[in-house]
Structures are given as C-alpha cells and as structure tokens.
Amino acid sequence: MSAEKLPRLVIEHVTPELDAGRHPVKRVLGDVIEVEADIYKDGHDAIAARIVYSGPGDEGWQSTPLEYQYPPDRWSGRFEVSRVGRWRYTVEAWPDRYGSWRSDLEKRVAAKQELGVELLEGAALLQKAAERLAGEAATTVHAAARSLANPQLPQSERLRVAFSEDLLPLIHGPLDAADVTRHDRVLEVVVDRRLAAFGAWYELFPRSQSTDPALHGTFRDVERRLPELAALGFDVIYLPPIHPIGVTHRKGRNNNVVAEVGDVGSPWAIGGREGGHTAIHPELGTLADFDHLVECAKKEKLEIALDYALQCSPDHPWVKEHPDWYFIRPDGSIRYAENPPKKYEDIYPLNFWCEDRKGLWNACLEIFLFWIRHGVTVFRVDNPHTKPLAFWEWVIGEVKRRHPETIFLSEAFTRPKRMKGLAKLGFTQSYTYFTWKNTREELTEYLTELSGLDGEGMPEYFRPNFFANTPDILHEYLQHGGRPAFRIRLLLAATLAPVYGIYSGYELCENVPVHAGSEEYIDSEKYQISVRDWAAPGNIKADIARLNRLRHENAALQKLANLKFFPSDEPNIIAYHKSAPGNDLLVIVNLNPYSTHETMVTVPLKDLRLGEDQPFEVEDLLTNERYVWRGRRNYVRLDPRDKVGHLLRVTPL
C-alpha cells in the first residue's frame, strides 16, 4: 500500500457485527441500531467520527455522528431503520482539525497567551468547512470565519464565535477527503416487519376442520374457525402442506406402511396427478377458495403461513418431467427417503447438486413466488437442515430481494451449529429445543444462551419460536403431567419468548402417545382426519386468550434479550424478570405439574429501581389479585391444580 493510502487512524471492534460482516444482523421495523466502535490515533489530536448508512433502494449514504465515551474509550451512535429490507452501515473517522484547534485555543486562553495567529488559523479552518456546505449553513459558517479573521472585532466576540456550540453540527465532517478512514467492512442489517419478532402461531390441518369425521375438511371449514382463533389472540395460522397427496406407497393410519381404502395419506407426500407444489389438494377446494381464505384471514388480522417442504411423492409431476432432479440408484430406480431402519417409500428426496441444479433451484424459487402472488408471505420450512446451506442462502436472498416482508420459519431440529448457521444464512425464525427443556436448570441454561445473557450475541441473528408441541413432538412431560403440564408449558412459552406456537389439540390437552416411550401421537393427524370438540371440558382456551392479550398489552413480553433470572429457594420454581420502559414483570412458575411448592424468591430490587425497604405492589395479571411486597425476600406458593404460576406487574408505592 502506498503511503498516500495508509489510514490516518484505527477503527476496530465495530458492533453490531456478525462473523466479521459475513452475515447480517437482524432487526425489526422502527428499531434503533446502536453502533459502537473503538477509534484511536497517534498524538493528541481530537478525533471525529460518524456512522454512514444506506437503506434499501437508496442510491447514496446518510450519516449521523458518533460520540466519544471516555470511560470505556469507545464511540457510539445510532440510526433508525424505517423500511423493511436490507440496510448497510459502516463507520468513518478523521482527525478533527477544528476540534483540536478549539481545544488548543482553550488552553492558550487559560494561559493568557497572544491569540492573533491562532484566530486566523481557526478562520481558515471554518472557511474550508464552508466550501463544502450550501445554503444557510454555508452562510453561517462563512460569517463565523470572517468574524474570527476580523481584528477590528473585540477579542471577546471573536472567542464567543470560536467556542460557539451552534457551529459544531454545521461543520461536523472531514475538512479534507484524504483525512477520512473508513472501517474495512460495510456491514448489513436485515430489517423485518414486527411479526418476525413477535407473534403467536397456531397450527391446524385443514382436512380436520369439518364437524363430521366422515367428511374431508375444506378451506371453507377453516374460514369458520378464524373468528375463534382471532379471539384467542393468535397472529399466524400455519397450514401443513395443502397440495395433492400421492397414492403410490401412501401411508395408512398411525404411519402404517399399507394404506386402507379411504386413508388420506401424509400431506408431506407431495404431488399427484392434479399437480405438485403449486397445486391444491382437490378435497380442500380450489385455488380461488384458498385466495378467499387468505382474504378472510386478513379481515381477522390473521396471516396464513404455508408449509414449504421440498420433497415429492412418486406421483409428483417432476418425477416424469425431471427424473434427473432425484437420486438415481444403480438399477435406474429413484431412491426414496429413509433414515435406516426407517423407510419413507412415499417420498422422494431431491438432489440439489444434480447436473441441472440451476433448473431445480429456480423451480424451488418459483414455488415461493407463486404463493406470494396468492397473498402468503409467511412460510414454515420443513427440515431445511437436510438441504444445502448454499441453496437456502440463495433462495431466501432472492425472495427477500423481491419481497422483503417475507418470513421464513426453520423447522430444523438438528445440531446447534447447523441451527445457528441456518439463521445466519437468512431464516427469520427457528424452532428450538424448548420442548425438551423442562427443569429449572435446563431452562435457565438454554434461555441464557438464546437471550444473549451469556454475551455471545445469539439474539443478533437467531429468533426462537417456542412451539410447545408439534404433530411430531408430544413430550413425555405433557404425556404424564396432565392439564397442569399444558398450562405450565403454555405460560413458559408465552412469557419466555416473544414468538411461540401451539399445534391443534394442545388447547384440549391431548396427551396420548402411540406407545410408551414415543413422542408420536396415537391416531396421528399426519395420517388421518381428526375432528375435535373445541369446547370439550378441561380445555385451556381461557389461559391462551388471556396470555395472548397480556402479551400485546405488555411491551416487556415482546422482547427476547430483556430476560433476567432471579433466585428461588425451591428448585421446582423458576423466576425471571422481563422489562421494558414503564413495564416490569416478574414471572414465577411451578415446573412440577404434580404437587404444590412454596418458596422464598429474591426479588431483583436494583433492576426494578426499588429501595431496600421500599414497599411495592405486584398485580398478578393472570388472576387480577394484588399483593404488597417489601424488600428482597418474598413468599410464593403455587398449586398446579389452581395456579401454575404468577405473572406479576410491579408498581412502586
């Protein structure tokens, strides 16, 4: 590098920055991006710095100053993201010639030195600054330069101009372009709409929404349920695959490898003579019926999410049109999916690295674009960890370039690094290990990581979606814990994470596995129609409705990284604090669904801005009961047959 191009100062440790800028961080519309950096140089000259940033579609850059924080020797600033899409930002810094001059001038004034030449130097600096300005700003700075250079003015007046704080915003910026050092990376932030970071999901099978077990449900049946689901406070209605289901090697009830007459098969065996991933299963209705469902959902302030499963039944049109898109065995047959010893003969996996991968990848992209044209901008992606990471980075990037409002939920129950990697590559949200975290130690350890309490910055890119159950996962905690277990896990999911979900039947506390030791449901809805009585005794719909309402009313429940745990003497009781400006909540939950537990909790008075002996009121938002507490140590008793937990709003007295 030539001497002329060497940097004038050092910029390092810029935040937020993910993997040295390889991946963008994530935010939502209206967020303020807090940018910090270490900036320093040789000598005693003052430094000035700024954030430069650009929003989606912008041709140029905007800037906002960085301010110096002395104790941590750090610079900080902020800018607001006002549009959905991909933003860019970086940091620039330069020797602050006018700031250095002012600092020296102060010292000379204090020492009562002659100031004539120094004032002329200041005038020259202001004159140079004015040359890059226009309009009223240029006029003001030119006038200030003339005042500093005018020996006819009293020195006190010239000093008043020199130390004017009003001048500083006008002349903030480098006096010479060669002075500027820019951080060696332009960083990115993906800005999503609010639903990406806060919302409640409900999963249902459309074919099970009729009131007669002998009748296949339709989109019209789903429409009839929308008002109830909206009243329960859900934001997203997620539908498993709605496409034609293959008949070749169709699965029977309870995953039987042989289907009986009338068996409806697995919706994930996608494709038949009626079409593939852009077709509708005929018994659900028509494409026009689906469009009508999407519009009805919007009227209820609900969004329809579709399953995006890149696999095909042997009857999928692609099998005949593009057999080279699959894995061909030595005997010329197409390899079906298997996880030995399990066999899935009703499904063919796609070969994403086939010779015609460009054609295959573009066809997969078109599936997204097709459903977006029909009003769907939320997708739950099936098993993304079994497809190439490079494919996901490409296809999500292509979709979001055209439709930045699109949300992608990753159903990747896989090893941690792959889950995190998928989030970094573009997935908006992810399923998690929450279902398997049931003790205080497990929950505390896992949430410490997810919420960023460990300092590793996971919330910068990973948004957990705490589904309490799925068609594939009925945890033994729910199998054996009965109704209290369902209420406990609901309270945890809805208050620990800003995004959570349940699968149909959770509200009815369905908990019977296909056999002991299995997490599969008996008579699984994946292979048959399941008609339910949604008003059955013992349902927990009132809990769901109240919690979803409270989530919307309390900003503290709408964030992830605002979580802090506080001590409870009883290991079966977990306690945590969620906070937002003007909204402090203490959540205390009995994790044991079988027995009552009582304990003393140690309230985090400092975090609540309360004095050591100051009384304060806690209102249980789940029951409307109020208590007056004082000091750190306070008593709690929780009977899972009645109160599985407290959701306490704190008010100082």
Q: CA–CA separation, 286 vs 562, rounded Å?
A: 45
* For the ranges 5-19, 34-48, 196-210, the one whose mean pLDDT is highest: 196-210
| Phi and psi torsions of 171, nearest 5° | -105, 10
CB atoms within 10 A of CB 107: 9
Q: Which two tokens stand for residue 359?
A: 């054609």
Fill in the DSSP letter of residue 272: B
Q: What is the pLDDT of residue 70?
A: 85
- pLDDT band of residue 350 (cuts 50, 70, 90) is very high
- pLDDT band of residue 498 (cuts 50, 70, 90) is very high
DSSP, collapsed to helix, strand or coil, labels residue 306 as strand
3-state secondary structure 407-475: EEEEECCCCHHHHHHHHHHCCCEECCCHHHCCCHHHHHHHHHHHCCCCCCCHHHCCCECEECCECCECC
Q: What is the pLDDT of residue 8?
A: 85
Q: CA–CA separation, 358 vs 584, rounded Å?
A: 52
Q: What is the pLDDT of residue 432?
A: 98
Any residues with CB less than 8 A from the CB of 1 and at least 6 apart, and which?
none
**Is pLDDT above 90 for 6?**
no
Q: CA–CA separation, 435 vs 486, rounded Å?
A: 12
Fill in the DSSP letter of residue 350: B
Q: What is the mean pLDDT of residues 332-348?
A: 89
Residue 253, amino acid: R
- pLDDT band of residue 368 (cuts 50, 70, 90) is very high
Query: Per-domain residue ranges for the chain?
Result: 3-191, 199-309+361-558, 563-652
CB atoms within 10 A of CB 410: 29
- Read off the pLDDT of residues 409-428 as tens digits, 9 standing for 90 and up: 999 999 999 999 999 999 99
Q: CA–CA separation, 642 vs 489, rounded Å?
A: 15
**Is pLDDT above 80 for 102?**
yes
Residue 32, amino acid: V
289 CB-side CA count, 13 A:
17
Q: What is the pLDDT of residue 345?
A: 92
Residue 224, amino acid: R
Give the residue numbers marked as catalytic.
382, 411
What would you report as the CA-atom Rg of the chain, rounded to the nearest whole angstrom? 31
Q: Which two tokens stand for residue 612?
A: 């050591």
Q: What pairs with residue 238 in β-bridges?
A: 203, 305
Q: What is the pLDDT of residue 408?
A: 98
Start-end of H helices in 521-624: 541-553
Q: What is the pLDDT of residue 383?
A: 96
181-213 burial: b if 16+ Cβ within 10 Å, else e? bebeeebbbbbbbebbbbbbbbbbbbbbbbeee
Fill in the DSSP letter of residue 335: P
Q: Which of 48-62, 332-346, 591-605 has the lowest mean pLDDT?
A: 332-346
Whether residue 498 contacts residue 462, with contact meaning beta carbons closer than 8 Å, is answered with no
Q: What is the mean pLDDT of residues 308-316?
A: 98
Sign, CA dihedral 356-359-364-367, equals negative
Q: CA–CA separation, 510 vs 507, rounded Å?
A: 8
Q: What is the pLDDT of residue 531?
A: 97
- pLDDT band of residue 456 (cuts 50, 70, 90) is very high
Q: What is the mean pLDDT of residues 496-504?
A: 98
Mean pLDDT rounded to a whole number for the chain: 96
**Is pLDDT above 70 for 4?**
no
**Is pLDDT above 80 for 342?**
no
Q: 214-219: long-range contacts (C-beta < 8 A, 24 or more apart)?
A: 216/264, 216/283, 216/284, 216/529, 217/284, 217/529, 218/283, 218/284, 218/285, 218/289, 219/284, 219/285, 219/289, 219/290, 219/292, 219/293
DSSP, collapsed to helix, strand or coil, labels residue 85 as strand
Q: Which two tokens stand for residue 128?
A: 């140079």
Q: What is the mean pLDDT of residues 341-356?
A: 93
Q: CA–CA separation, 165 vs 174, rounded Å?
A: 18
Whether residue 244 contacts residue 276, with contact meaning beta carbons closer than 8 Å, is answered with yes
- Read off the pLDDT of residues 561-606 as tens digits, 9 standing for 90 and up: 999 999 999 999 999 999 999 999 999 999 999 999 999 999 999 9
In a 10 Å sphere around its CB, with 0-12 CB exposed, 13-18 middle and 19+ buried, how is residue 644 labelled?
A: buried
Q: What is the mean pLDDT of residues 79-88?
A: 98
3-state secondary structure 183-210: CCCCEEEEEECHHHCCEEEEECCHHHCC
Q: Select from 94, 93, 92, 89 the least CA-distant residue to 186.
A: 89
CATH of segment(s) 199-309+361-558: 3.20.20.80
| Phi and psi torsions of 310, nearest 5° | -90, 75
CATH of segment(s) 563-652: 2.60.40.1180
Fill in the DSSP letter of residue 623: T
% of the chain residues with pLDDT over 70: 99
Fill in the DSSP letter of residue 20: G
Any residues with CB less than 8 A from the CB of 168 and at least 6 apart, and which?
none
Q: Which of 122-136, 212-226, 352-366, 591-605 has the lowest mean pLDDT?
A: 122-136
**Max Cα separation, the chain?**
105
The topology (CATH level 3) of 3-191 is: Immunoglobulin-like (2.60.40)
Residue identified by tokens 């007295």 is: 653
Q: CA–CA separation, 27 vs 46, rounded Å?
A: 33
The alpha carbon of residue 572 and the mean position of all alpha carbons in its chain are separated, in whole angstroms, by: 30
Q: CA–CA separation, 307 vs 314, rounded Å?
A: 19
Q: CA–CA separation, 20 vs 14, rounded Å?
A: 9
**Is pLDDT above 60 for 628?**
yes
Q: CA–CA separation, 608 vs 601, rounded Å?
A: 14
Q: Identical fold at 199-309+361-558 and 563-652? A: no
- pLDDT band of residue 495 (cuts 50, 70, 90) is very high
Whether residue 442 contacts residue 475, with contact meaning beta carbons closer than 8 Å, is answered with no
